Every structure is written in C-alpha cells, then in structure tokens.
A and B are shown apart, each in its own frame.
Chain A
Amino acid sequence: MEIYSDGMKDALAGLLGKTGAKTAMLVSREGYNVVEVGDVSYFNTTALAALVAGAFSATREMARMVGEKGFSILLQQGESRHIHISLIQDLLMLVVIFSDNESIGRVRYEARKTSMILADQLAEKGTRTHLESRLEETDFGENAMNLIDRVFQT
C-alpha cells in the first residue's frame, strides 16, 4: 500500500510553523511511520508509530463499547510534553507532540485544519498513480531470498 504523497510533508511543516509544536508525524493504522517533520531525535519513530496505532485501535474499541463509532481525537497530557492524535479518514493518524509553551487549543485547531488538507490529499491520491521510483518486480524474488539467507544464517 502506498499512501504517502509529496504534499503531506508540507502540510505537517505548515502545522509545526503555526503551532510551534516540536514534532508532527503521520502513522498508518497498521502502525507504520509514513512521514515525520520536526525534531525526532528524542524518540524512536518506529516504536512510537506502533504504540500510537495500538492506542488508537484500543480507543476505537472503547468507543464502540459505549455506542460510539469511534473517537476522532486522543490527547495525552504529560507534565511538560503532550501528544495530540487525530484520525484521518480511518487510514492515517496525525500525531503532534508539543510542549507546555504551546496552547492545546491552538494545536487542536491547527491539527483539525491540517487533517482536512491531508484528507483532501488522500482523496486526490486515490485518483492518480504514483510513478516515481517504482519497485520493479524483476529479480525481486531472488534478491529477497539472498537477503533473507544473509540475515538468518542458520
């Protein structure tokens, strides 16, 4: 599945610029990190993506239990850093990490606006084909087997 589009990074950069948040990233619902913008030196993006997807899935189930289709926003408040997560078209999660210096309301407002931009990009993406740097099928199998043999030397 290819859900990344070039405009996503720009949209996230715009969000950071307007809110002063530290980091923004997009995570697929399977737990894959799609794109990140800002400072990612202080955490492991792969691990955080897995946890975000798990947390959001769990939240969705909780919502269903109380008769809701889903909760569209998750806010985790810490002492000095906070995480705002919002769902985009049931495909992606927008994760914004920000500190006490930024207002929650501002982050929430801008995250909602960015989510709408990203949703439009996703909709547009569904109508066109991504042509750049296509992974060719030729020799893929042989290359894959060689790689696995190298990694798992038994």
Chain B
Amino acid sequence: MSFIHYVQKEINCKIVYYGPGLGGKTTNLQYVYNTTPGHMKGRMISLATETERTLFFDFMPLEMGEIKGFKVRLHLYTVPGQVFYNASRKLILRGVDGVIFVADSQEERFDANIEAIYNLKENLAEENYDIMELPYVLQLNKRDLPSAMERDVLAKELNIKGEKVFDAIACQGVGVTETLKEASKQVLMYLRKTQLERGV
C-alpha cells in the first residue's frame, strides 16, 4: 500500500517487476537506473548470487518530482524469478501498488511464463490483493530472439484482464520506459481512487 507522509509531504509507491527466471526483470531495472539522471535516483541495491541471479530483490528509488507540493517517489523492486525462491517473492509483494510482469517471449519459456502468472495470482491472493483491481502491465521481452513466439499469440495467452501490453528488448532499452510509464500512471490513478477518494 502506498505511503503518504503528510508532514514531510511525500508520496511513496511500490512497483514490482515479476516474471519467470532470466526473463529480464533485473535488466529492466538496470536500464531504468542507467538512464535516470543522478538527482532523480537513489542507490540501486542488488541482492544477488555469485552468478548474478537475483537472490532476494533488486531495488531502486525513483524521485519523480512533485504533485501539489508532495514529493512522489517510486520504489522499484524486482523479485527472484527462480521457482524455489517463492518465499522471497511473497515478501517483496507485501505492500505492492503495481506489478509489471516481464514475460520471456521465447517459445521454450512459455510454460515458465504461465507458471509465473499463476504464482503471482496465488501470492497476491495470500496478501489479500485482487489482481483484477491492482495496477498491472504486461511486457513481452526478448522480442528480438529467433525463437520468440508470435506477438499476438503470446499477448493473448498471457493476458489476464485486458491489460496494456508492451514489446521490449530490455537489454537494448526498447520498451522499458514505456512499460514503466504505463505502470506509473496506473499506480497514481489507483492511489487517487483508493486513498484520496477515501480520505485517508
């Protein structure tokens, strides 16, 4: 859940990159980090194994600027994609405001994508989130690889609720910004709906 600090005049929101292992979640975040001006970002933290697979999470804060005198800060997290790190994924989802699902377009990773979506739904439900309500964006990554599935077929198979779909080649930065932009929009609109209208 987003955190509005009325005294310090800050709005903090949490966006989580989710998806199968080696799908490009950390690559997305690294691209955002590398292309964000210094004054807008904090330190990026990567809790990774020796082989640079995400062990717990990657994290970077993104200072967006101000809305009506309130500083807006996005907390961007990735989860470890490997199946056996589910406990870590659950922890990172706690308090989430929006999810970016990074799918691997390669045909041989199709089952892994489906498994990760089911896993996301289960973990969100355990934290009492309804994925149908939560801000959610689908990114089809690795569109440049020869074994990439046909775009429309993959988008249809992985689509949960008619969410926006972005094609990406995260290692080249293609589609990364567009994906995060859409997720940010949804998160702030969701904040308005869930917090401001309720008068929290």
Q: Which of A54, A58, A151 has the most CB of B within 10 A?
A: A151
Q: Which residues from B are CB-within-8-Å of A57?
A: 91, 94
| A-contact 0/1 string along B33-62, CB 8 Å cutoff | 000000010110101000000001101010
How many angstroms from the CA of A150 to the CA of B65 in the assembled complex? 9
The reply to whether the CB of A148 lies closer than 8 angstroms to some CB of chain B is: yes
Measured in the bound complex, the distance between the Cα atoms of B14 and A54 in whole Å is: 14
Q: Does A86 contact B (CB under 8 A)?
A: no
Question: B91 and A58: CB pair below 8 A?
Answer: yes
| Residues A147 and B181 in contact in the complex (CB < 8 Å), given A4-B7, A31-B14, A47-B42 | no
B45 surroundings in chain A (CB, below 8 A): 47, 50-51
Please give, as numbers and ranges, the residues of chain B lying within 8 Å of A144 by CB-CB distance: 67, 72, 185, 188-189, 192
Number of A-B contacts (CB under 8 A): 126
CA distance A148 to B67 in the complex (A): 10
Contact in complex: A6, B7 (CB < 8 Å): yes
Q: Are B94 and A2 within 8 A (Cβ)? A: no
Determine if A134 is an interface residue (Cβ-Cβ < 8 Å): yes
Please, which residue of chain A has its CB at the minimum distance from the CB of B73?
A: A46
Contact (A4, B6) CB under 8 Å given A47-B59, A50-B59, A61-B87? yes
Inter-subunit contact B189/A2 (CB<8 Å)? no
**In whole Å, how far is B200's beta carbon from the nearest beta carbon of chain A?**
6
The minimal Cβ–Cβ distance linking A56 to chain B, given in whole angstroms, is: 9
A44 near B: Cβ within 8 Å? yes
Complex contact A152–B43 (CB within 8 A)? no
Q: Are A154 and B181 in contact (CB under 8 A)?
A: yes
**Is B110 part of the binding interface, using a Cβ–Cβ cutoff of 8 Å?**
no
The verdict on A152 contacting B189 (CB below 8 Å), with A2-B200, A132-B6 known, is no
Nearest residue (CB) in A for B7 is: A4
Closest Cβ neighbor of A50 among chain B residues: B59
How many residues of chain A get a CB closer than 8 Å to chain B's CBs? 40
Taken together as a complex, chains A and B put the C-alpha atoms of A154 and B77 apart, in Å, by 22
Cβ A135 vs Cβ B6 within 8 A: yes
Chain B residues lying within 8 Å of A71, measured Cβ to Cβ, are: none
Verify B177–A61 contact, CB threshold 8 A: no
Residue in B61, B87, B180 with the greatest tally of chain A CB atoms within 10 Å: B61
B6 & A147 in contact (Cβ 8 Å cutoff): no
Q: Is B4 in contact with chain A by the CB < 8 A criterion?
A: yes
Contact in complex: B66, A46 (CB < 8 Å): no
B contacts, CB < 8 Å to A: 1-9, 11-12, 14, 40, 42-43, 45, 47, 56-57, 59, 61, 64-68, 70, 72-73, 75, 77, 87-88, 91-92, 94-95, 177-178, 180-181, 184-185, 188-189, 192, 195-197, 200
Sample (16) of A-B pairs whose CB atoms are under 8 Å apart = A1-B4, A2-B5, A2-B200, A6-B7, A29-B94, A29-B95, A30-B14, A32-B12, A34-B5, A54-B47, A135-B11, A141-B192, A147-B67, A151-B184, A152-B181, A152-B184
Residue positions of A touching B, CB distance < 8 A: 1-4, 6, 28-32, 34-35, 44, 46-47, 50-51, 54, 57-58, 61, 130, 132-137, 139-141, 143-145, 147-148, 150-152, 154
